[in-house]
Amino acid sequence: MRRAFELGLAVATGLALAFLLLPMVALFLRISPAELADALTSEVALDALWVSLKTGLIAHFFVLLVGTPAAYFLATKRFRGRGTLVTLVELPLVLPPAVAGIALFALFGRLGLLGRTLDTFGIQIPLTQTAVVLAVIFVAAPFYIRQGIASFEAVDPLLTDASRTLGASPARTFRRIALPLASSGLGAGSALAWARGTGEFGATIMFAGSLQGVTQTMPLAIYAQLDLNRDIAVAIGALLVLVSLTVLLSVKLLPSWTRFTSPSFIRSAPSG
Amino acid sequence: MDPLHVTLVHPLRSFRLELELEVDRETVALVGPSGAGKTSVLRAIAGLLRPEQGRVALGDDVWLDTGAGISLRPERRSVGLVFQEYALFPHMTVAENVAYAGPRRAGELMEQLGIAGLGNARPGELSGGERQRVALARALARDPAVLLLDEPLAALDAHTRVRVRAEIEDLLARLRLPTLLVTHDFQDAAALADRVGVVVDGRIVQVGSPAELIAGPASPFVADFTGGNLLRGTARPAPSGLTEVTLADGSRIFSTDRLEGHVGAVVYPWEVAVAREAPADSAQNHVVGPIAGMVPVANRVRVRIGPLTAEITAASVERLGLRPGEPVVASFKATGTRLVPLA
């Protein structure tokens, strides 16, 4: 009986791993290394790589720049409605990508809430590279902010208190104490946000279109090349697998090189 | 140097913090059981807790006045706060920790506190005593006008504690800063402070020098806290001019204090003598019973006889051949028996 149970567990694990890993294996078997190199140097692939890299870096810059202070604020301030706000920040995480696309249209489209005003200044966002950046920020930022809130909440408030009594302003306390102590968590959040942004497809294709060299990111190029030149689609796919694997490994390895940041002072019963 | 003046009213979980105190160029200890609101007092002075009502001023320099709407940010108040858990920055070296408030005096202070050799170590690599010194050096690097110490010895083991206590005593004597110390241990307070305030449920129930508190505890709690025996009974005037206290077991003892009704008679262990037979001496009070327990404390032995604990030398125990279970007589003088009213 017990042996049958153990066997069942092993079989289930084997099935799950096979199902999750075989598609990746198949992808790499589909194309030889020479063909891979060839396909990746095609104009379509290079354009997609460039668009992905550029929009991804710009989007990530804004995610870190705005997301870090926002996460700190939400982690350290106590006010009414804070819980609701944190939940709303996480909403894009569970939102279907198609909804994200149509929602961005509703805001920035020519007849949209903001788009109408922008249009009078001659600014049009849909189907431009700016649209790609906005779509990536929209789907990736929540990953970073959520992880950032958790990381800042894990910083012992006694340490920030100590910083203040040592004459440091709130800004200096953030820079010298909270930020370095939360850095490993923020790094993990940053990597996850980057991965999500790189893979972004649904919102981008609806809101930014799929114009080679302008808005066609790598995932969009895979889709576009599926019927035209399957080798290129497979090659870009293989490249994205490698990128994702790198991100995953860096997230897993992050805590080990910043372990020294964990508070290690003696904890004892608080006094009155 | 200006004195620190503090008045606070602040609701805590199950009681209100309500106290007033003044700290000159001296060390004042607030002692009391855990959860009495002692740490909240320090946090309110440092600006980490905003009390419902209160005023904190260093001479004419007002840090907090809820009535006038004044509340300086923590970084604007000249305090050196040493946290109970030290709160050293784990991602910085010892030298970086100490220099955080100001690099000017960092080297000198590390030298003074004997941690100059640890400059490149991280807090995680230090012993409890070393962390304590780093925390002190870091707090002093700001050149504070007031020093606040939160349970400076609580996180240390018994052995280190005695040594660190002496170090702090020495340091405080050299600094001569208004110092407010919080501890749950009367011995620590007695060793470090010029004056001790006993805090119970957010209020100071008695202030005095350690000797004054031991000599004249105002309440059973203070007596118990300072280490005295507390014998409960009913007091009434005796014909001899003394006060006679009838204890629960019917035995009677005498005190020179004048009090009536429900009282606690306070006797310090070192004022109780132990003998084989009732001695023909001047002591008025005798408690007869078997030895319930004997605990050696350094070169002394604490002997329990009925409701009393006597502290006598190990040499006397040897000479009298005392053993647990043997009947003895404990005697103490009426003049050494303090009476405190019981609720």
Q: What is the DSSP string of B4-20?
A: EEEEEEEE-SSSEEEEE
pLDDT at A262 over 60: no
% of chain A at pLDDT higher than 70: 93
Which whole number is the average pLDDT over A130-146? Answer: 96
Yes or no, beta carbons of A264 and B35 under 8 Å apart: no
Distance CA(A6)–CA(B173), nearest Å, equals 70
Which whole number is the average pLDDT over A50-79? Answer: 96
Which whole number is the average pLDDT over A149-155? Answer: 95
B12-53 per-position pLDDT tens digit: 888 999 999 999 999 999 998 877 889 999 999 999 999 999
**pLDDT the model gives residue B343:** 65
Which whole number is the average pLDDT over B107-133? Answer: 92
> What's the pLDDT band for A255 if we cut at 50, 70, 90?
low
Yes or no, beta carbons of B39 and A272 under 8 Å apart: yes
- Distance from first CA to last CA of chain A, Å, rounded? 57
Mean pLDDT of chain A: 89
A-chain CB neighbours of B75 within 8 Å are 164-169
Hey, how many other C-beta atoms are within 10 angstroms of the C-beta on A183?
Answer: 16
DSSP 8-class letter at B253: E
Token output for B222: 């203070």
Pick B301 or B93 by higher pLDDT. B93
- 3-state class of B182 per DSSP? strand
**pLDDT the model gives residue B165:** 84
pLDDT at B9 over 90: yes
**Which residues, 6 or more positions from B29, have their beta carbon under 8 angstroms from its beta carbon?**
B180, B181, B182, B183, B188, B189, B192, B193, B195, B196, B197
Rg of chain A on CA atoms, in Å: 23
B185-235 per-position pLDDT tens digit: 887 888 889 999 999 888 999 999 887 887 778 888 888 788 888 888 999
pLDDT at A66 over 90: yes
DSSP 8-class letter at B90: T
Per DSSP, helices labelled H in chain B are 38-46, 94-99, 106-112, 128-140, 158-175, 186-192, 210-215, 220-225, 314-320
Distance CA(A214)–CA(A202), nearest Å, equals 17
A178-236 per-position pLDDT tens digit: 999 999 999 999 999 999 999 999 999 999 999 999 999 999 999 999 999 999 999 99
**pLDDT the model gives residue A259:** 43
- What single letter denotes the amino acid at residue A22? L
**pLDDT the model gives residue B136:** 94
Closest CA of chain B from A253, distance in Å: 19
Q: Which of A163, A185, A154 is nearest to A67 (CA)?
A: A185
Q: Are strands B285-297 and B327-332 parallel, antiparallel or unpaired?
A: antiparallel
**pLDDT the model gives residue A263:** 41
Hey, how many other C-beta atoms are within 10 angstroms of the C-beta on B286?
Answer: 16
- What single letter denotes the amino acid at residue A44? V
Burial of A119 (0-12, 13-18, 19+ CB in 10 A): middle
Inter-chain Cβ pairs, chain A and chain B, closer than 8 A: 109
Closest CA of chain A from B20, distance in Å: 17
**pLDDT the model gives residue A268:** 35
Which whole number is the average pLDDT over A58-70? Answer: 97
Yes or no, beta carbons of A159 and B89 under 8 Å apart: yes
Yes or no, beta carbons of B124 and A159 under 8 Å apart: no
Pick B342 or B197 by higher pLDDT. B197
**pLDDT the model gives residue B217:** 82
Place of tokens 């340091």: B171
Q: Which of B232, B236, B231, B234 is nearest to B269 (CA)?
A: B231
**pLDDT the model gives residue A251:** 79
pLDDT at B105 over 60: yes
From residue B280, alpha-carbon distances to A48, A102, B329, B331 in Å are 107, 103, 12, 11
Pick A247 or A215 by higher pLDDT. A215
Residues B226 and B31: beta-carbon distance below 8 Å: no
pLDDT at A261 over 60: no
Residues A223 and A57: beta-carbon distance below 8 Å: no
**pLDDT the model gives residue A177:** 96
Hey, how many other C-beta atoms are within 10 angstroms of the C-beta on B157?
Answer: 9
A-chain CB neighbours of B138 within 8 Å are 166
**pLDDT the model gives residue B301:** 86
Residues B252 and B291: beta-carbon distance below 8 Å: no
**pLDDT the model gives residue B71:** 95
Q: Residues of chain A whose C-beta is under 8 A from some C-beta in B?
A: 156, 158-159, 161-169, 176-177, 180-181, 260-272
Q: Which of A206, A207, A149 is nearest to A182 (CA)?
A: A149
Residues B183 and B210: beta-carbon distance below 8 Å: no
**pLDDT the model gives residue B253:** 92
Distance CA(B94)–CA(B85), nearest Å, equals 16
In this prediction, the answer to ipTM > 0.85 reads: no
pLDDT at A148 over 60: yes
A95-112 per-position pLDDT tens digit: 998 899 999 999 999 888
% of chain B at pLDDT higher than 90: 53
Yes or no, beta carbons of A162 and B80 under 8 Å apart: no
Burial of A104 (0-12, 13-18, 19+ CB in 10 A): buried
> What's the pLDDT band for A154 if we cut at 50, 70, 90?
very high
B128-178 per-position pLDDT tens digit: 889 999 999 999 999 999 999 999 888 888 778 878 888 888 899 999 999
Angle made by CA atoms B222, B227, B229, in degrees to the nearest 5? 90
Residues A271 and B84: beta-carbon distance below 8 Å: yes
Please name the residue of chain B whose CA is at the shortest distance from the CA of residue A260: B91
Place of tokens 């198949």: A26
Angle made by CA atoms B183, B186, B191, in degrees to the nearest 5? 90
pLDDT at B107 over 70: yes
Distance CA(B23)–CA(B29), nearest Å, equals 10
% of chain B at pLDDT higher than 70: 99
